[in-house]
């Protein structure tokens, strides 16, 4: 009678160390994020982890450290390419330090955001990364469970948690300045919301106005059509209104790329050439922007850096390596110039 054969054993830290040609301690540092590791070494260890399919033992980790290695991540609009792309980066950054991510979509509902900020009432969740839309400071302070929290985005809820956000004013000013430098003078903006603007709308309008006024140009209210939301149909509708004006704009700054893609479509339907008849620029640098026809000039936040900073801040709080005042961290951005704004001017 033959003896049953054993199934394949799960890969261990030792196996990862041997494949990556590093010590077990180095692999542990990469997996647990306990000690900084040189980037080249970390990447070599991560390749070995991926090749072997190594997964940390969460039960053993919780018994050893009191933590599960699981965090929650929530955005208000996951169908938005910007949030989807940022979510991918957060998951990758968390994986690099051996952390598992649970995701949720709040729809901007304050009650859903508060539930996430309270850790979903689940003691297995070590911390939360949240991009709030409807939450206010008073509501956040009422959360039922004090759990490490990092906020993403423009909403300023006061010194209640670390926050990672891009400089929207500077980004909007830079891309508007690009249009001015290209020779455009009657510049519209699509993205203002009335009567309850988002912080994003306020900040990007401020940057737009600052650039125009700095160049001695007038901010024409007729060139600021309000939108309901930040999706392609909203951008197309606003652009159609602009094109009906007796003195239509020669360039348009859209407060995100989806608005800009809708505006591109409306310009095409009107028989206009972009950028020769009208230039269009956006904000966010979603993947679709590069493959639009024409390709879209846009402001590119450093999504990978945003994700790494958010995960790092959260882990410092979870592991009690930092217990100081809340931090406001501002990653960089760049203006990516493509076909939609460069002309023979």
Is residue 254 located within the same domain as residue 200?
Answer: yes
Condensed to tens digits (0 to 9), the pLDDT of residues 101-130 reads 999 999 989 999 999 999 887 888 999 999
200/77 Cα distance (integer angstroms): 14
Q: Which residue has the higher pLDDT, 225 or 38?
A: 225
Nearest residue to 333 via CA among 198, 92, 168, 153 = 168
Answer whether residue 293 is part of any domain. Answer: yes
Q: Which domain holds residue 39?
A: 13-53
Q: How confident is the model at residue 57 (pLDDT cuts 50, 70, 90)?
A: low
For residue 66 the two structure tokens come to: 């009191």
Q: If you write DSSP's letter for every residue of 215-238 in order, what string do you get? A: TT----GGG----SSSSHHHHHHH
Answer whether residue 48 is part of any domain. Answer: yes
Answer whether residue 116 is part of any domain. Answer: yes
State the number of CA atoms in the 13 A half-sphere of 33 facing the CB: 23
Is residue 271 located within the same domain as residue 325?
Answer: no
Is residue 237 located within the same domain as residue 279?
Answer: yes
Is residue 284 located within the same domain as residue 186?
Answer: yes
* Cβ-contact 257, 296 below 8 angstroms: yes
What CATH number is associated with residue 284?
3.40.50.2300
Condensed to tens digits (0 to 9), the pLDDT of residues 68-78 reads 789 999 999 98
* Cβ-contact 155, 190 below 8 angstroms: no
Average pLDDT, stretch 82-109? 93
Alpha carbon of 299 to those of 14, 88, 119, 223: distances in Å? 44, 19, 33, 21
Answer whether residue 325 is part of any domain. Answer: yes
Answer whether residue 157 is part of any domain. Answer: yes
Nearest residue to 133 via CA among 76, 192, 73 = 76
Q: If you write DSSP's letter for every residue of 170-213 in order, what string do you get? A: HHHHHHHHHHHHTT--SEEEE---SSS--HHHHHHHHHHHHHHH
Is residue 296 located within the same domain as residue 306?
Answer: no
Q: What is the pLDDT of residue 159?
A: 87
Is residue 292 located within the same domain as residue 175?
Answer: yes
193/202 Cα distance (integer angstroms): 9
Is residue 207 located within the same domain as residue 113?
Answer: no
Question: Structurally, how many domains does the chain consist of?
Answer: 3
Condensed to tens digits (0 to 9), the pLDDT of residues 285-308 reads 999 999 999 999 999 999 999 999
Average pLDDT, stretch 166-194? 96
Nearest residue to 153 via CA among 132, 122, 176, 129 = 132
Is residue 320 located within the same domain as residue 236?
Answer: no
Answer whether residue 254 is part of any domain. Answer: yes
**Phi and psi for 334 in degrees, rounded to 5?**
-145, 155
Q: What is the pLDDT of residue 197?
A: 81
* Cβ-contact 282, 90 below 8 angstroms: no
Answer whether residue 58 is part of any domain. Answer: no
Is residue 232 located within the same domain as residue 109?
Answer: no
Is residue 86 located within the same domain as residue 235?
Answer: no
Q: Residues of the chain with pLDDT > 90: what percent?
A: 65
Condensed to tens digits (0 to 9), the pLDDT of residues 233-283 reads 999 999 999 999 999 999 999 999 999 999 999 999 999 999 999 999 999
Is residue 159 located within the same domain as residue 191?
Answer: no
Angle formed by the axes of helices 39-52 and 24-32, to 10°? 90
Give me the residue label for tokens 């790329």.
257
Is residue 26 located within the same domain as residue 47?
Answer: yes
Q: How confident is the model at residue 182 (pLDDT cuts 50, 70, 90)?
A: very high
Alpha carbon of 216 to those of 32, 186, 219, 268, 340: distances in Å? 54, 12, 10, 30, 24
Is residue 37 over pLDDT 90?
no
Average pLDDT, stretch 310-325? 92
Answer whether residue 8 is part of any domain. Answer: no
């Amino acid at each position: 009678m033959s003896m049953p054969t054993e199934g394949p054993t799960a890969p261990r830290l030792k196996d990862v160390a041997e494949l990556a040609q590093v010590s077990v301690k180095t692999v542990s540092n990469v997996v647990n994020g306990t000690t900084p590791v040189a980037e080249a070494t970390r990447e070599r260890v991560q390749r070995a982890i991926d090749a072997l399919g190594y997964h940390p033992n969460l039960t053993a980790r919780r018994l050893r450290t009191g933590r599960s290695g699981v965090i929650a991540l929530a955005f208000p609009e996951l169908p938005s390419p910007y949030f989807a792309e940022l979510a991918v980066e957060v998951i990758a950054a968390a994986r690099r330090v051996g952390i598992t991510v649970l995701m949720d979509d709040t729809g901007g509902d304050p009650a859903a955001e508060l539930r996430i900020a309270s850790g979903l009432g689940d003691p297995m969740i070590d911390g939360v990364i949240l991009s709030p839309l409807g939450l206010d400071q008073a509501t956040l302070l009422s959360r039922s469970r004090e759990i490490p929290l990092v906020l993403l985005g423009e909403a300023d809820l006061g010194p209640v948690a670390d926050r990672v956000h891009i400089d929207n004013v500077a980004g909007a000013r830079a891309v508007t300045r690009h249009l001015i430098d290209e020779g455009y003078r009657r510049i519209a903006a699509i993205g203002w919301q009335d009567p309850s603007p988002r912080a994003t709308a306020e900040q990007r309008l401020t940057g737009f106005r600052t650039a125009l006024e700095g160049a001695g140009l007038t901010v024409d209210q007729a060139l600021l059509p309000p939108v309901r939301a930040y999706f392609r149909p909203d951008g197309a509708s606003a652009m159609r209104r602009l094109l009906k004006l007796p003195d239509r704009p020669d360039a348009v700054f859209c407060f995100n790329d989806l608005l800009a893609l809708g505006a591109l479509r409306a310009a095409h339907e009107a028989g206009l050439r972009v950028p020769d008849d009208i230039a269009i620029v956006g904000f966010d640098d979603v993947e679709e922007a590069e493959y639009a026809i024409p390709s879209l000039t846009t402001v590119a936040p450093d999504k990978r850096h945003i994700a790494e900073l958010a995960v790092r801040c959260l882990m410092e709080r979870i592991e009690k390596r930092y217990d100081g005042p809340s931090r406001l961290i501002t990653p960089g951005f760049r203006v990516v110039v493509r076909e939609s704004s460069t002309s023979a001017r």
